[in-house]
């Protein structure tokens, strides 16, 4: 049975699967529709309305992120009517917040800023009236500035639907609406796990990584894909590096499995050790009561000499191996193999059992 839906977007005949939205079909076809509240993998809420498009026969413009396609649909994504509606939305968002790019950490990495530019808006038609919230600066990881929040709700949805931490939600109503933990508590006084997912998905500068502030502009930073070293899951992440220093860690959903761009508190905020001055970068061997730097060859020779001596004197079972949850499965496999086949003991254990 042919379950394809045929429709036209901007004069192009396209086919779609039942249940797909106009936005999804347009994206697949490389047709640009701006979004702010839309975030893949979470509920489509249709909150911001910047993704509006014209659908032939529809009484009003429709939010493409929420509208499922139907057979014979004719969609136009960049008519003057559509662009005017988007401009109005963006101008209202601009006017209702403190979007001062000069001091904003997200300058150059801000979806609202991009839209203002793309829609060629010189200044909003409305009086700029930031709400005047105090900036939350009470923890060492996340800075929260509700004056820049556009209430897209991405942070709320990733917290509840992807991380399932259920910490963030909207409070108050109308122009007083804001996002935060229960009872409007600061992050640090809430049950927040500090996974940082909310910061990663914030399209503006409302939630920013505190340790990254003034450490580098987005266009200077190089993203280096790597595997998290904290456990054996193998989460993929981007180290944001400037001059050899890790400025922050971000997720990247394009990498897919195993973490689909999500990270835990350790993977996200626990990378200070990489550039820490106390970090050991060479093996140390104690000589005459003092630890001295050694090469890896010297260290391996020393270890094998000691193991051989212990084994000869007390037998292989006098040695035990203790591995780590920070290693990969493959490394742990090799470790137990080494203990059994080379040392000759089954005394192998693992820190995750503690």
- b/e per residue 130-140 (b: at least 16 CB within 10 A): eeebeebeebe
Least separation in angstroms between residue 128's CB and ligand FES is 22
CA distances from 198 to 4, 123, 156, 257, 301 (A): 36, 29, 7, 20, 48
Give me the least distance between CB of 156 and ligand FES, in Å please.
Answer: 14
Binding of ligand FES at residue 67 (CB under 6 A)?
no
Residue 36 or 249: the one with the smaller Cβ distance to ligand FES is 36
Q: How far is the CB of 89 from ligand FES (least distance, A)?
A: 9
89 interacts with ligand FES by CB under 6 A: no
- The nearer residue to ligand FES, 65 or 212, going by C-beta atoms, is 65
The pair of three-digit structure tokens given for residue 32, joined into one six-digit string: 């640009």
Q: Which position among 16, 37, 93, 202 is part of the footprint of ligand FES (CB under 6 A)? A: 37
The reply to whether 38 sits near ligand FES by the rule CB under 6 A is yes
Indicate whether 263 belongs to the interface with ligand FES (CB under 6 A).
Answer: no
Q: In whole angstroms, what is the distance from residue 329 CA to residue 349 CA? A: 14
Q: Can residue 55 be called a binding residue for ligand FES (CB under 6 A)?
A: no
Query: Cβ distance 325 to 231 under 8 Å?
Result: yes
Check binding of 75 to ligand FES (CB under 6 A). Answer: no
Radius of gyration of the chain (CA): 27
Those residues whose C-beta lies under 8 Å from the C-beta of residue 175, and which sit 6 or more positions away, are 96, 131
Query: 49 or 210, CB closer to ligand FES?
Result: 49
3-state DSSP assignment of residue 273: helix
Query: Which residue, 85 or 192, has its beta carbon nearer to ligand FES?
Result: 85
Task: Tell me if 65 contacts ligand FES by CB under 6 A.
Answer: yes
By the rule CB under 6 A, 49 interacts with ligand FES: yes
Helix/strand/coil for 323: strand
Phi, psi of 17 (to 5 degrees): -90, 150
* CB atoms near residue 302 (< 10 Å): 14
**Contact map string, positions 17 to 36, toward ligand FES, x by CB under 6 A:** ------------------xx
- Residues at the contact surface with ligand FES, assessed by CB under 6 A: 35-38, 46-51, 63, 65
């Amino acid at each position: 049975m042919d379950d394809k839906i045929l429709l036209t977007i901007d004069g192009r005949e396209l086919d779609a699967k039942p249940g797909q939205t106009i936005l999804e079909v347009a994206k697949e076809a490389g047709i640009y529709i701006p979004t702010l509240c839309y975030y893949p993998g979470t509920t489509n809420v249709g909150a911001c309305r910047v993704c509006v498009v014209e659908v032939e026969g529809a009484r009003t413009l429709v939010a493409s992120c929420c509208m499922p396609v139907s057979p014979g649909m004719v969609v136009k994504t960049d008519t003057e009517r559509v662009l005017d509606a988007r401009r109005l939305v963006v101008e209202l968002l601009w006017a209702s917040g403190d979007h001062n790019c000069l001091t904003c950490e997200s300058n150059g990495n801000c979806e609202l800023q991009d839209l203002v530019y793309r829609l060629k808006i010189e200044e909003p038609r409305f009086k700029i009236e930031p709400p005047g919230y105090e900036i939350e600066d009470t923890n060492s990881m996340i800075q929260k500035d509700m004056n820049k929040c556009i209430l897209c709700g991405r942070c709320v949805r990733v917290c509840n639907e992807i991380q399932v931490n259920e910490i963030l939600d909207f409070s108050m109503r109308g122009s007083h609406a804001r996002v935060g933990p229960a009872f409007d508590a600061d992050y640090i006084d809430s049950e927040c796990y500090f996974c940082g997912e909310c910061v990663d998905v914030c399209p503006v500068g409302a939630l920013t990584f505190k340790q990254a502030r003034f450490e580098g502009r987005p266009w200077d930073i190089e993203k280096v894909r790597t595997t998290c070293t904290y456990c054996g899951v193998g989460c993929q992440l981007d180290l944001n590096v400037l001059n050899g220093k890790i400025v922050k860690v971000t997720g990247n959903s394009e990498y897919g499995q195993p973490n689909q761009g999500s990270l835990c508190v350790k993977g996200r905020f626990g990378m200070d050790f990489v550039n820490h001055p106390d970090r050991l970068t060479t093996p140390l061997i104690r000589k005459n009561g003092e630890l001295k730097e050694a090469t890896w060859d010297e260290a391996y020779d020393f270890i094998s000499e000691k193991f051989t001596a212990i084994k000869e004197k007390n037998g292989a079972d006098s040695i035990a191996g203790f591995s780590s949850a920070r290693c990969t499965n493959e490394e742990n496999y090799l470790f137990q193999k080494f203990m059994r086949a080379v040392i000759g003991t089954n005394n192998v254990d693992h820190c995750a059992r503690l």
